[in-house]
Each structure stands twice: as structure tokens, then as C-alpha cells.
Copies of this chain bind each other. A is one copy, B any other.
Amino acid sequence: MTKLIDFQTDPSRYRHWRVSYDGDIATVAMDVNENGGLFEGYLLKLNSYDLGVDIELADVVQRMRFEHPEVRTVVMRSGKERVFCAGANIKMLGVASHAHKVNFCKFTNETRNTYEAASADSGQKYICAVRGACAGGGYELAIACDYIILADDGSSTVSLPEVPLLAVLPGTGGLTRVTDKRKVRRDLADVFCSTEEGVKGRRAKEWNLVDEIVPNSKFDAIVAQRAREFADGSARKVAGPGVALTPVQRKIGDDGSVAYSLVDVAVDRAARRATITLAGPAGDAPVSVAALHSEGAQTYLLRLARELDDAILHLRLNEDQIGLLIFRSQGDPGQVVAHEQFLLDHRTDWFANEILLYWKRVLKRIDVTSRSLCALVEHGSCFAGVLAELLFAVDRSFMMNGAFDGDNRPPATITLGPSNFGAYPMGNGLTRLQTRFYGTPETIDALAETNGKALLADAAETHGLVTYAPDDVDWEDAVRLFLEERASFSPDAMTGMEANLRFAGPETMETRIFGRLTAWQNWIFQRPNAVGEDGALKRYGSGVRGNFNMQRV
């Protein structure tokens, strides 16, 4: 799988989803093109999916929020007659590398989270209308929705057959959402998750696997009625027009480097690291909401978010030998603050609000990226407000302290704004500052008083905002030694260590999915019982069950 995976798409290129609009109700129909797999070697039968299908879905959800703000309810359904969705394509899983499988699951999890976020943060409610088999990843598509309607026709079922059929776990949050969101009784959840054939009709409703069962004859009418009710019940009062998400401008080099308009990704494969440099705004913040809308997708903070998001995904899937991401920035911190403050001041405008909410998602994507993350706060940098969040997302940070020989850029500073105290919560429900100072909340009160002030290295270090603040004499060695050391460690140990240290304190359904469930799934994805020659994943479809080593671990 060395083909470059492209996370950019648009409706004109969709092969697997059909989207239609009717006032404030949108319908998203899954109609996977069998021959449209991302790679060779498998057919996407029965609405099964691979990463390419999910990239389109992520695009659908994203465009719904920006291009179709008038939408209050999204109905997700199948575009095929007899099947809702058969889940992730098993043949694809059978041939994919371990790293691809894990990153595929991570992305699909993030995509499920985006429509839960669309509902929670923007009042775009998702209804899932299930007719036919809804299995595995298909049911995981459904339980990320707000409401599930199941056809009561004797053949439509919901199921999570991964364990009995494939000897792996449902990889897209299924186990966690069954107990924590659907609140299915744990012994019934155990039955459900070990039953190949799934559950249908009345029992599916009784166990709370679905919200409503409806005879086939009334199915379309009830779905339409519920869509209308959810739309009417939504607090969302936005008419549009939307903002077109015009193509992200970028140029990908043969060495994996990417040049965007505001983001530069320099890939050094030999050293196993990538340097991501973010540029500050070239101009002033918009002067009015009308001006913001007229800038559209080109407005600084939206453009930067889209480019950064794409860069992270590109590195995750296309550059798996890169163990370390280094964040840099160059620009005017005052301008960054001004652009962000404009959005914060105009959150009642849906578009301003959506840009801030998008940053919340981009930052969360960085939090769960399994690469060592570090930040270099250099002279001339603009780690202010939302960009300062990157400093609290990384595992370590270095900040230039004092004058550097021959460096005439403005001295390195960090500027906190109001957004750092609440606008971008992590998956654990805390701000990045709350997570960082989990033991000393009083530190955060002291930081709140620096609001808007550009802190030099000594102050930043005293406040605990950076790990190290070396001067001209020490900087180069300190950074170089860290980068070399980090690149020498076992990447597996780094992945495990970072997954544990990044999320102090409380857990949520989201962190449970990325932490507990993902870790177990990664473990099982390694085990011969699943992926060995005689494992269930390899043998699937052969008519022969997996041959298991029965030792319990």
C-alpha cells in the first residue's frame, strides 16, 4: 500500500455517497461502488467500506457544517436495497498492514466523532434509518447517530459480529458506545457482541440497540416524520447561505514534503521527522461579519485549520516512518490574536462559530496522533491564542531565551488569550492547560492574569508553559540531542507512553474509545489468532474457521 492517500475530495468526485437536500433536512445515502476501493485486491461488496469511503463521509459531514448551515437534520441511510452496511471490508483488513489498519480505525473513529460533534456543538442532528443488514462498522455508523430507526421486517438486523466472526473487536467505538451511550446492560451487550447473526425487531428495541422499530410499510413515512421532528426540535436557527470549501492549495513533493499556502511540511525521512511550520496572518482580521463571509474559505484561521488538518492526515497515512512532528510558527502573534478574537467576539455568527469548532476538532486530531510531538518556540514565532494550544498538545517544547547571535527576529513569546481557557477542550473534557496543570490548578489562575500579554522565555518557563528555555549557547545542542534521542526509541513504546501521558485525569466516552478500546484492538490486531495464517481475519470467507491458540492472556 504505497499509493498516496489523499484526504481531499469534494462532491463532484464522490463515488460512494449521495447527498441530497430538502430545506433543513439532508439525506446522506451510502451507496458504495464495489470497484471503487482505495487499493487493489478487494471489492467493496454490500456497502462495505475502506478508508476511501470514510474520507468521503468525513467530507460530507464537514461540508454539511460549512456549506449547508441551513441543515438541521441529516438522515443517514443506505442507497442499496437489501443491505444497510456490512462494515469495514474484511478482505481489505486481511491484506492491509498493521499500521494501515490502526490508522484506518483511528480515522473512522474521528469521523464518527465529527457527526456526534455536529449534533452536540452545532445542532445538526443525525438520524440513522436502517433497513437490511447493519453489521459491524455499519452498526458503528448507526450508534454515532442521535437516533436509530430499524425496519421491523424480519430480516433487518443490527450486529457487531467482529468477535465471533473475525476474532477482532469492533474498531470504531462499538463496544464503548454500546455500554456508555446506548447503555445496554452489560450481559446483554456480551450476548449482542458475540452473536454473529445480530439482533432484530422487538428485542433490538428492548435492549436499546435501536430507538424505534417500524414496519416496512411505514418506514419511509416514519423516517420523514422523525426527521421533521428533530429539525423542528433543533435549537439551530441558521438559514445560510453557506461558505464553499474551495480546494486546499498544496504541492506534495517526492520526499513527502508538502507546501500549502500557510503551512509548510518539511519531511526528513532519514532523520524520521517532519517539521510543520505555520505562518501567521498576512493581513488584518476581518472588519465585520460580512467581510468574514466574503473571505469565506480563504479567511486566515479557516485556511490554516484546513491545511494543518490535511498535513496531519497526510503524515499519518503516507509517512509512517516519521516518528516525530515538530511544530514551528513564524508571524505576528498580535495578528493571530486579533483574527481569533474577531471570531470569539462574533460567535453568534454561525460561520465564525464553525471555524472555532473546527479548530477544536483539529486540535483533538493532533492529541491522538501517534507520533512524538514537539514544538520549537523560536524568535519570530506566533504561538498565540489558538496556536499556543499546540504547545500544550505536544509532548515537549523548547523556547529560545534571550538574544541569539545574528538573529534579528522579534524575540520568542507566548501569548495566551481567552480561548486557551475553554474554547478548545480535549477529549477528556478538560482544557489543555487544565490537563497540563492537573496538579496545580492555581497555576491556571495566575496564567489567566497574563491574558493577551506576550510572555518572554523566562516568564513562560516560570509559568510552566514550556519544557525548556535554552539560550543561544545551549539551544542547538538541546534541540538536536532531543531529536536524535527521540528518533532512536522504539516507536511502539513511544506510542504507548504518549497515549497514557497525554490524557491525565478524567476519562470520557471519547477517551475510552481512543485509549482503552483502541489499545485492545491494536493488541488483537497483532495476535496470530486474528492475523496469523490460520487466524480468523485471514481465513474469513474460506469457509474454514480460525484455528486458535487457546491460551488466555
Contacts and interface: CB of A to CB of B under 8 A. Distances in A.
Contacts of A395: 186-187, 190
A492 B523 contact: yes
A467 interface: yes
A102 B507 contact: no
B530 A497 contact: no
A5 interface: no
A492 B370 contact: no
Interface stretch (A88-96, A110-118, A173-181): A173-181
A99 interface: yes
A491 B553 contact: yes
Contacts of A27: none
Nearest to A179: B504
A287 interface: no
Interface string A453-483: 0000000000010010000000000000000
A180 B505 contact: yes
Contacts of A520: 495-496, 499-500, 519, 522
B186 A551 contact: no
Interface string A496-531: 111111101111000010011101111110110110
Given A321-B550, A523-B496, A526-B523, A193 B501 contact: yes
A438 B183 contact: yes
A501 B189 contact: yes
Interface stretch (A161-169, A228-236, A406-414): A161-169
Contacts of A519: 516, 519-520, 522-523
Contacts of A103: 553
A169 B493 contact: yes
Given A176-B500, A189-B501, A500-B516, A321 B551 contact: yes
Interface centre among A323, A516, A553 (most CB of B within 10 A): A553
A51 B430 CA distance: 38
A439 B396 contact: no
A500 B529 contact: no
Interface range on chain A: under 10, 10 to 19, 20 to 34, or 35 or more?
A: 35 or more
A102 B190 contact: no
A185 B505 CA distance: 12
A435 interface: yes
B439 A551 contact: no
A396 to B, nearest CB: 5
A390 to B, nearest CB: 13
A449 interface: no
A151 to B, nearest CB: 24
Contacts of A322: 552
Nearest to A395: B190
Contacts of A438: 179-180, 183, 186
A45 B181 CA distance: 49
B517 A163 contact: no
A413 B179 CA distance: 27
A548 B371 CA distance: 15
B527 A492 contact: yes
A536 interface: yes
Given A490-B536, A493-B530, A169 B500 contact: yes
20 contacts: A167-B493, A169-B497, A169-B500, A176-B500, A179-B505, A180-B505, A183-B439, A272-B550, A321-B550, A321-B552, A488-B545, A492-B524, A492-B527, A495-B520, A496-B523, A496-B524, A512-B515, A519-B520, A526-B526, A526-B527
The 10 closest A-B pairs by CB, nearest first: A183-B439, A519-B519, A167-B490, A507-B507, A496-B520, A179-B504, A523-B523, A175-B500, A515-B516, A490-B529
